[in-house]
Structure 1
């Protein structure tokens, strides 16, 4: 299997990498997401969308604010239209999503690269 990891974005707070495998891209977020980089996060995720979904691993995030959660949860869209699938969501992140009233459905594990 041909697996490639590449950097999509990096600033002083956040690093976004994507693992390209046949099928669904797997994106890993590391660091902090806030109002200073949430627009870049949205652009990076949109740039790697190839099909119906993009899997986003949030386990390495140390902080995320409402602007970042809005990018990941896509609350303005109906659940069936949301193309971001969250993976490894921490209890803290789950609690924030719940407090915001944005439903969260765990994804099934995707194959490891």
Structure 2
């Protein structure tokens, strides 16, 4: 089991969180809290739109709870008109997103 690691960078109007390790029911609350905090930060940005980028190239596992957190973040971002996208999506996760109908909304 690889522990969930979150690394956040701020650069040129983007907040990027790199996610590595396993995203499952035991770790989703940590990611949810972090993403919602970043979305609040983006909403407070003065006079410019800030995008939230979730980089997942080092994500080794994701379950339904993890997908649910990504949908939750997307819904919050959409409601406050903050662009959100996944990058570095590995083939197995891309397939899962395609099967669940989440590929277009998240990538």
* Same fold at TM > 0.5: yes
CA distance change for structure 1 residues 64 and 70 in 2, over 3 Å: closer, same or farther?
same
TM-score (norm 1): 0.69
| Aligned equivalent of 2:10 | 20
CA RMSD of aligned residues (A): 2.7
Change (3 A) 1:96 1:42: same
1:16-95 equivalence runs, <5 A:
16-49=6-39, 50-51=41-42, 52-74=50-72, 77=75, 80-81=78-79, 83-95=83-95
Structure 1: segments with no counterpart, 5+ residues: 1-11, 108-113
User: Which structure features the higher share of helix residues?
Assistant: 2
Note if contact 1:59-1:88 (Cα within 8 Å) is conserved in structure 2: yes
Q: State the TM-score, normalized to the length of structure 2.
A: 0.73
Q: Which runs of 5+ in 2 are unaligned?
A: 43-49
Give the number of the structure with larger relative contact order, counting CA–CA contacts within 8 Å between residues 6 or more apart. Answer: 2
Q: Give the ranges of 4+ consecutive aligned residues of structure 1 lying more than 6 Å apart after TM superposition.
A: none
The 3-state SS of whatever aligns with 2:86 is: strand
